[in-house]
Amino acid sequence: MSTDRRVLVHPDRTTLAGSVAARFITKMIDLIEDEGEAHVVLTGGSVGIEVLEAIAHSPARDSLDWSALHVWWGDERWLPRGDDERNETQARHALLDHLAIPDENVHPFPASDDGLDLEEAASRYADELRAHARDGAEHPRFAIVFLGVGPDGHIASLFPERPGPLVDDRTVIALDDSPKPPSGRLSLTLPVIRNSERVWLVLAGADKAPALGLALAGANPADVPAAGAQGTKRTVFFVDQDAATDVPESLTTPPSYWTGAMDQQDWMPSEWTPSSPRG
């Protein structure tokens, strides 16, 4: 397991979203050029959706061959297809509806009106993950898994003091007792997250600072699930200044980031510097 963790601190959430968007486009261009395709996992939440909106509005957006990208989700609310509270719906409005990405490359979780119960839906998504895996694996090789972090330290729909963070024999779990509404949820498990190449955790706000501090201090994932989120190549916490109050200075890396003051037409991948690793 990689111990290469970085914390990139940004002055505000707008700059944060623009920086992550630019970094994502750059990384995907490189990976698709090298490997022909890439699989990524999206997250919900206000900051996660702001990142997707920033990608949609980036002048570099169309430099990426979106037909070579497969999109998955880390978790989903058990609601009808098209419900405004579904992560899928929000991601489509923010980004996917604006892209030339094939329908077969978008892999949403089942919805509550698909004629399945929660456990059947979890099994269905596990089957889809397996169908797109290589060499008999249980899920695709994810280039990037995006995660938000709740004030309680939860990631995806893996909550503290619930069984979810401890599940290691499945790729997908069903929850019917989520502490956040709605009670019904579907979620990837920690082993899937920890087998991804890169985990990018994106969080903003002073209410996230305690959870971030505990995650970086190596808390038990059963108590702070975010502490268990690591990629095999790199783990990056993208945070705003308000969320960074409990971050040890030794873990922070001065980022090179897009800002609203920069002429967007002038942004190019070469803006990244050695002080801001492109992984």
Q: Beginning with the edge strand found earlier in the chain, give each strand of the sheet holding 234-240 in spatial order.
A: 5-10, 234-240, 198-203, 142-147, 38-42, 69-73
Q: Which two tokens stand for residue 24?
A: 């994502």
Q: What is the mean pLDDT of the chain?
A: 90
Contact between 157 and 178 under an 8 Å Cβ cutoff? The reply is yes
**279, part of any domain:** no
Domain of residue 47: give its range. Answer: 5-271
Q: Which amino acid is at 70?
A: H
CATH number for the domain that contains residue 240 = 3.40.50.1360
Number of domains in the chain: 1
Query: Could you tell me where the DSSP H helices lie in 66-207?
Result: 87-94, 118-131, 190-194
Find the range with the poorest average confidence among 175-179, 191-195, 253-257.
253-257
What are the tens digits of pLDDT across the range 118-156? 999 999 999 999 999 998 999 999 999 999 999 999 999
In the prediction, which pLDDT does 247 show?
85
Query: Residue 126 — φ and ψ, nearest 5°?
Result: -60, -40
Contact between 16 and 240 under an 8 Å Cβ cutoff? The reply is yes
Distance between CA atoms of 89 and 85, rounded to whole angstroms? 7
**136, part of any domain:** yes
Distance between CA atoms of 145 and 38, rounded to whole angstroms? 11
Give residue 194's Cα distance to chain centre: 12
**241, part of any domain:** yes
What are the tens digits of pLDDT across the range 61-105? 999 999 999 999 999 999 999 999 999 999 999 999 999 999 999
**278, part of any domain:** no
**277, part of any domain:** no
Q: Which two tokens stand for residue 90?
A: 């929000």
Phi-psi region of 36 (alpha: psi -120 to 50; beta: other; left: phi over 0): left
**84, part of any domain:** yes
**68, part of any domain:** yes
What are the tens digits of pLDDT across the range 5-31? 899 999 999 999 999 999 999 999 999
The verdict on pTM exceeding 0.85 is yes
Distance between CA atoms of 195 and 199, rounded to whole angstroms? 9
Give yes or no for residue 264 having a pLDDT over 70: no
Query: Within 13 Å and on the Cβ side, how many CA atoms surround 249?
Result: 0
Q: Give the torsion sign (CA, 90, 175, 2, 35).
A: negative
Nearest residue to 47 via CA among 89, 77, 87: 87
Give yes or no for residue 169 having a pLDDT over 70: yes
What are the tens digits of pLDDT across the range 207-246? 999 999 999 999 999 999 999 999 999 999 999 999 999 8
**64, part of any domain:** yes
Contact between 110 and 6 under an 8 Å Cβ cutoff? The reply is no
In the prediction, which pLDDT does 64 show?
97
In the prediction, which pLDDT does 3 show?
54
